Amino acid sequence: MKVRASEDHFVKVREIIKDLVAKLEADAKAEATRKGYCDENMAKSVADRDAAADKLEELEAQLSALASEEASLTADIATLTQQIADNAKALNEATELRQEEKAANEKTISDATEGKAGVELALQILNDFYSAQGALFACCDGISCGIIGSGHPHCVEGIEACPLGASSPPR
């Protein structure tokens, strides 16, 4: 029994050692699986982080470019706004000048129309007066009928108005 009892102890010790080795191997295998999982996830996380950092840099570059473009466009807007104001001012000044010129032209036309009416009336009065006088106002050359229609430098009408029908007045 003694031998048997000592053999039993060794068997138990061997079983405990086998169990410990099996447990350690299982722990090592689990650790390896866990480490593999962690390594895999760590690599994926690092890749995601790097991709996000690259995307962030790209977006910051776009933001910077857009801010620069915004500043440029703001300056363009200010310049164009000033040009619009200058053009509006020039347009108003030109409109005022045209209105003044229009008023002056209308006055000139009015004066000319009144003058024309006055000249036509004076011509009619002179024509009536000198036509009634007949040969009394004949020029010294004896060809024409008077001052009106005589072709004389003082006449205001042509030879057609001469009642005597002189054909070639002196010039």
Say if 88 falls within a structural domain. yes
Say if 123 falls within a structural domain. yes
User: What's the pLDDT score for residue 37?
Assistant: 84
Burial class (CB in 10 A: 0-12, 13-18, 19+), 117: exposed
Among the listed residues 125, 152, 120, 121, the one whose alpha carbon sits nearest the alpha carbon of residue 137: 152
Say if 90 falls within a structural domain. yes
CA 100 to chain centre: 30
Q: Which two tokens stand for residue 40?
A: 């895999």
Say if 145 falls within a structural domain. no
- The whole domain housing 13 covers 2-137
Contact 130, 154 (CB under 8 A): no
Say if 29 falls within a structural domain. yes
Q: What is the SS3 assignment for the chain?
A: CHHHHHHHHHHHHHHHHHHHHHHHHHHHHHHHHHHHHHHHHHHHHHHHHHHHHHHHHHHHHHHHHHHHHHHHHHHHHHHHHHHHHHHHHHHHHHHHHHHHHHHHHHHHHHHHHHHHHHHHHHHHHHHHHHHHHHHHHCCCCCCCCCCCCCCCCCCCCCHHHCCCCCCCCCC
Q: From residue 78, give the alpha-carbon distance in Å to each of 13, 43, 70, 82, 140.
A: 94, 52, 12, 6, 82
Say if 142 falls within a structural domain. no
User: What's the pLDDT score for residue 167?
Assistant: 44
Say if 171 falls within a structural domain. no
User: What's the pLDDT score for residue 169?
Assistant: 44
User: What's the pLDDT score for residue 160?
Assistant: 45
Say if 68 falls within a structural domain. yes
User: What's the pLDDT score for residue 93?
Assistant: 96
User: What's the pLDDT score for residue 137?
Assistant: 53
pLDDT tens digits in sequence order for the chain, 171 residues long = 455 555 677 888 888 899 999 999 988 888 888 888 888 899 999 999 999 999 999 999 999 999 999 999 999 999 999 999 999 999 999 999 999 999 999 999 999 999 999 999 999 999 999 888 765 555 544 444 444 444 554 454 444 444 444 444 443
Count of structural domains within the chain: 1
